Amino acid sequence: MSAHLESELPAALRGQWSYEPRYANVNGWRMHYIDEGKGDPVVLLHGNPTWGFLYRKMIPLLVGSGRRVVVPDMIGFGLSEKPTREDAHSLDGHTANLTALMRGLDLTRIALVCHDWGGPTGLSFAMSNSARVRALTIMSTWAWPLPPAEFHTRIFPWRMMHAPLVGPYLLGNHRALAGRGVYLSVVDREQFARTAQYAYEAVLPDPASRLLTWVWPRWIPLDENARAYERFKWLEQELSRSKLPALIVWGREDEVFDAATFSERFKQMLPHAEGPHLVTGRHFLQEDSGTEIAALIDSFLRRLDANEGKQ
């Protein structure tokens, strides 16, 4: 384990995250990722405010089923470099970061697993690098310009949380999203508080390190003048045309991207997709149902393998 990782990861958590740290220079930034196992790659993408640790229950199962598992930490999160200026972050920039890693590793036949902001970034990568991507798994995210969830249009608590000055104070000084925010968005809160919460808080130790936790909410389009509106419009169009095999998995208790609205909309965009499969979980469904989700992905990929074998 590198000295860098030793310094950032609490000792109590190293038993849960013992993977060899790897670093790549992507798009001008230092990105941390893990790369475990052999076989066709499964790339697991997290969102705000998590990191690869979110997938800790899934990685051993996917590696054990004969897959190569690559889990990057988004620039600004986890053990990756954390820029301290808001303008260092953009939706297109983060997609470019991921693209740089995928090309750097020369990954092909990628099964891409997208959650939260891993959705808009990962799906944008997939739509612009379709030759490298074999399949999609979509969880608690979105890929269209308007409207986001009704939750995102409300001032309490969403817009207030990342409002000018309030964002740096509440999410920066008081780590509201990396701490209590994730806690409120799992089902088994007692277990989460006991076994996992510290892992999310520990890698964002200082207010400045939490910058992206209030920057990402500001990239959610609320009207047609929003910065990312055109990118989401493009993404919706491209994804609707996509024939990539897809799996939709959603948290039954998800109150942010509720299953009835969001998973069904993905199903309409990708009518050939498997699912939606509902599992126990709020927004961070991997915390409550990681093992079950890994089994769903493995089963989905095995069917894909079998179908390709027949052709």
**CB of residue 185 to another protein, shortest distance in Å:** 12
Q: At closest approach, how far in Å is the CB of 225 from another protein? A: 10
Q: Contacts with another protein in 155-194 (CB under 8 A)?
A: 155-157, 159-170, 173-174, 176, 179-181
- Closest separation in Å from C-beta 247 to another protein: 34
Catalytic residue among 73, 254, 288, 298: 254
* Whether residue 223 lies in the annotated active site: no
Number of residues counted as binding another protein (CB under 8 A):
25
49 lies in the binding site for another protein (CB under 8 A)? no
Sole window of 112-120, 154-162, 193-201, 271-279 interacting with another protein (rule: CB under 8 A): 154-162
Residue closer to another protein by CB (options 156, 309) is 156
Binder to another protein among 35, 40, 86, 264 (CB under 8 A)? 86
309 binds another protein (CB under 8 A): no
Shortest Cβ distance from residue 211 to another protein (Å)? Answer: 9
| 22 near another protein (CB under 8 A) | no
Token pair for residue 182?
A: 């994730």
Q: Which is nearer to another protein, 5 or 88 (CB)?
A: 88
Q: How far is the CB of 206 from another protein (least distance, A)?
A: 13
Among the listed residues 32, 46, 277, 283, the single catalytic one is 283
Q: What angle do CA 105, 94, 185 make, to 5 degrees?
A: 105
Looking at residues 199 to 238 of the shown chain, list those that interact with another protein (rule: CB under 8 A): 218
User: How far apart (Å, rounded) are the C-alpha atoms in residues 206 and 228?
Assistant: 28
Nearer to another protein, 146 or 166 (CB): 166
User: Is the Cβ of residue 56 or residue 175 nearer to another protein in the bound state?
Assistant: 175
Point out the residues that are catalytic: 116, 254, 283
Site for another protein, rule CB under 8 A: 85-87, 155-157, 159-170, 173-174, 176, 179-181, 218
